[in-house]
Amino acid sequence: MSDRLSPILVKELRQGIRSQLFTGSFLLVQALLFLFGLSFVLSDSLQKDSNAGSVLFWTMLALPLVVLVPASASQAVEREVSGRTIELLLLTRLSSYRIVLGKWASIVLQTSLLLVSALPYVILRYFLGGIDVVRELQTIGGLLTGSGLLAGIAMGFWSLNVPRVAKWAAVMLLVWAAPVLLMMAVSPHGGFGAPVELGKLAWIYAILVMLVMVESAAARIGPPSENHWTRVRVLALVALGIAFFYDGAGGVLAAAAAIGIAFPTLVASMSENGRPLRRLHEPFLRGSILRRLALFPFAPSWPGGVAFAALLVLLVPFLPAVRGEMGPAAWIALAGTLFFPAALVRVVFRGSRPLLLYVVVLVLSSVPIYVYGFVESAGTSSLSVFLQSVSGFFAPLALVVELVHPDGYQGSELARSILTIVTAASVLVTALAARREWERVTSLFAAEESEP
């Protein structure tokens, strides 16, 4: 194969097309298509009702893909990790990102081979029944793109350090969601009655999710000397940036999707525990003060993560879908929600598993709120009173209540004061800790440079 192709792509294609999974899927596709072709030739009703014929044809083709793509994606990274061949790959010139990308491209190419093998049947249908060629090609494109997205996201899920059951559940959910996305993309009305704009937005965000998941898969297998944080943070910011261009129904979808991408990134950034390495930080320590300030939120390590979280917290209230809906109290609630666990984890606990601790504190900090809310709402059966009381403290729920409740923030004065004080203290403590750590990092590098 050509020297220009990625080595990983060459290897994965050599292995992939000889695997039982691929040959089995290929034979299944051919058998199903042959059956379809036979029934199409013999059945007048299928020839007359081109829509029914299309649905049957594409469903038959999509079914094997639903098996092939997640199964290939699940094996792609895990096989290298469990067989410990990943170490050999990482000692070559290939970065973990190129490794994951090559594996992803191989799955997409194998899917393309299956789809291309269906073209003779598309031509047969064209000659026997009046089909819309453009629509058929659109569907092939949609299936291919959908498979690519599914492969990337499934690879990302599979590389997460979670139980296998959870991985399968997530991938099955994706398999279920993929046709919805596909319909939204290829239907002239946007699919499921949704406007075309929403369909496009769904695709854009699906691509962003895929890129984030591919990066997280690379981060999982990569050596500690690689920086994956910067790219993930940029992607999260792009997701948020896109939401600024949409208002109305699209704006709500965009804001939800952007926050869905940004929130895990933000949580991970706030609890980052990577070893500060000079080679990773050097690009962020060069140039003018303005340049360094602008790049600081994208610098790997915890101080940069805190700056990135602060940037997102500052941007969220200005999203078109949120603007005007989110009062100062809700904004303070959001900041408190994110900074209180960060301050506690970094300054008080200083544990070796900051991400777990951060999430635990995030969840536990919500418990008193539920108790408080329960007491407040005792005697009334109103859910809204309960929710309003709950929103008086810092918790993710406060933001949700703020966004969905028609009366907006209704917490008590006391609750609001506590919220403000705790948030301010958390932000201050986190900022001071981040500054101290950043100074330690930069002085470490300065000391290394001064060594002979």
Partner 1 sequence: MSGRVVEVEGLERRFGTVAAVRDLSFQIERGQVLGFIGANGAGKTTTMRILATLDLPDAGRVRVSGHDVVNSPDQVRARIGWMPDSYGAYPHTTVWEYLDFFARAFGMKGEERRSAVEDLMSFTDLGDLREREMSSLSKGMSQRLCLGRALLNDPDVLLLDEPAAGLDPKARVEFKRLVRLLAEEGKAIFISSHILSELEEMCDAVLFIDEGRVVHHGAPASLKLSAAEGIIYSVTVASPVESLAAFAETSPGVELLERTRDGARLRVESSEPREVASILRRMVDAGCEVTDFRREEMRLEDAFIERLKKKGSSP
Residue 83 near partner 1 by CB under 8 A: yes
Name residue, tokens 């981040």.
434
Cβ contacts of residue 125 below 8 Å, gap of 6+? 40, 53, 57, 131, 136
Residue 396 near partner 1 by CB under 8 A: no
Nearer to partner 1, 91 or 289 (CB): 91
Instruction: Candidates 76-84, 168-176, 186-194, 247-255: pick the segment binding partner 1 (CB under 8 A).
Output: 76-84
Nearer to partner 1, 15 or 382 (CB): 15
Residue 448 near partner 1 by CB under 8 A: yes
Q: d(Cα 53, Cα 40) in Å, to the nearest integer?
A: 8
Q: d(Cα 337, Cα 362) in Å, to the nearest integer?
A: 7
DSSP, res 214: H
Q: In the range 177-236, which residues lie near partner 1 by CB under 8 A?
A: 223-225
* Binds partner 1 (CB under 8 A): choice among 90, 124, 207, 315: 90
Residue 59 near partner 1 by CB under 8 A: no
Residue 94 near partner 1 by CB under 8 A: yes
Q: d(Cα 176, Cα 206) in Å, to the nearest integer?
A: 14
We find the least distance from the C-beta atom of residue 26 to partner 1, in angstroms, to be 15
Cβ contacts of residue 266 below 8 Å, gap of 6+? 236, 308, 309, 312, 338
Instruction: Candidates 159-167, 277-285, 363-371, 430-438: pick the segment binding partner 1 (CB under 8 A).
Output: 277-285
We find the least distance from the C-beta atom of residue 276 to partner 1, in angstroms, to be 11
* Binds partner 1 (CB under 8 A): choice among 84, 134, 381, 414: 84
Residue 85 near partner 1 by CB under 8 A: yes
Q: How far is CA 102 from CA 9, 25, 174, 290, in A?
A: 5, 21, 22, 37
Residue 7 near partner 1 by CB under 8 A: yes
Residue 275 near partner 1 by CB under 8 A: yes
Structural element, H or E, at residue 34: helix 20-42
Q: Which of 427, 420, 407 is nearest to 333 (CA)?
A: 420
* Binds partner 1 (CB under 8 A): choice among 42, 45, 93, 413: 93
CA atoms within a 13 Å half-sphere pointing along the CA-CB vector of 179: 12
Instruction: Candidates 24-32, 77-85, 164-172, 237-245: pick the segment binding partner 1 (CB under 8 A).
Output: 77-85
Q: Which of 129, 134, 142 is nearest to 53 (CA)?
A: 129
Q: What is the DSSP string of 362-392?
A: HHHTTHHHHHHHHHHTTT---HHHHHHHHTT
We find the least distance from the C-beta atom of residue 273 to partner 1, in angstroms, to be 13
Q: Is the Cβ–Cβ distance between 263 and 255 less than 8 Å?
A: no
Instruction: Candidates 6-14, 122-130, 232-240, 395-403: pick the segment binding partner 1 (CB under 8 A).
Output: 6-14
Nearer to partner 1, 102 or 146 (CB): 102
Instruction: Candidates 8-16, 114-122, 227-235, 336-344: pick the segment binding partner 1 (CB under 8 A).
Output: 8-16
Q: What is the DSSP string of 145-181?
A: HHHHHHHHHHHHHHHSSS-HHHHHHHHHHHHHHHHHH
Q: Is the Cβ–Cβ distance between 28 and 118 less than 8 Å?
A: no
Task: List the x/- string, 350-389, binding to partner 1 by CB under 8 A.
Answer: --x-------------------------------------
Q: d(Cα 452, Cα 450) in Å, to the nearest integer?
A: 6
Residue 102: strand, helix, or coil: helix
We find the least distance from the C-beta atom of residue 333 to partner 1, in angstroms, to be 36
Determine the size of the site formed for partner 1 (CB under 8 A): 30
Nearer to partner 1, 193 or 224 (CB): 224
Q: d(Cα 239, Cα 262) in Å, to the nearest integer?
A: 7
Residue 18 near partner 1 by CB under 8 A: yes
Residue 91 near partner 1 by CB under 8 A: yes
Residue 92 near partner 1 by CB under 8 A: yes
Nearer to partner 1, 278 or 405 (CB): 278
Nearer to partner 1, 18 or 383 (CB): 18
Binding site for partner 1 (CB under 8 A): 3, 7-8, 10-11, 14-15, 18-19, 80, 83-85, 87-94, 223-225, 275, 277-279, 352, 448
